[in-house]
Amino acid sequence: MSPTWHLIVTTVGGILAGLALASALLWRQQRALTAARYQATHDEVTGLPNRRLLLTRLRAALADNTPCGLVLLDLDRFKAVNDTFGHDTGNMLLDQVGRILTGLDAPVGVAARLSGDEFALLVLGSRADTAAVARAAHQAISAAPIPVVNGEVTVSASVGYTHTRLGLSARQVLSEADAAMYQAKRAGTGVSGHHPLTPPSPRSRDRHHH
pLDDT digits (tens, 9 = 90+) for 163-192: 998 889 999 999 999 999 999 999 999 999
Domain spans of the chain, in order of start: 1-41, 51-193
Q: How far is CA 92 from the centre of its chain?
A: 16
User: Taking all residues of the chain, what is their mean pLDDT, rounded to a whole number?
Assistant: 84
Indicate the CATH number for domain 51-193.
3.30.70.270
Q: Calculate the alpha carbon distances from 53 to 6, 17, 24, 60, 151 in Å.
A: 56, 40, 30, 11, 33
The DSSP secondary-structure symbol of 199 reads P
Sign, CA dihedral 29-32-34-36, equals negative
Q: How confident is the model at residue 205 (pLDDT cuts 50, 70, 90)?
A: very low
Q: How far is CA 69 from the centre of its chain?
A: 15
Q: What pTM was estimated for this model as a whole?
A: 0.78
Helical spans, DSSP H, in 105-149: 127-142
Question: How far apart (Å, rounded) are the C-alpha atoms in residues 121 and 73?
Answer: 9
Residue 181 identity (one-letter amino acid): M
Q: How confident is the model at residue 197 (pLDDT cuts 50, 70, 90)?
A: low
Residue 93 phi, psi dihedral angles, 5° rounding: -65, -45
Q: Which of 17-21, 26-30, 90-94, 152-156 has the lowest mean pLDDT?
A: 26-30
pLDDT at 56: 95
In 3D space, the residue among 198, 172, 179 whose CA is nearest the CA of residue 59 turns out to be 172
Question: How far apart (Å, rounded) are the C-alpha atoms in residues 134 and 143?
Answer: 14
Question: How far apart (Å, rounded) are the C-alpha atoms in residues 198 and 148?
Answer: 39
Question: How far apart (Å, rounded) are the C-alpha atoms in residues 128 and 133?
Answer: 9
pLDDT at 2: 65
Question: How far apart (Å, rounded) are the C-alpha atoms in residues 114 and 110?
Answer: 12
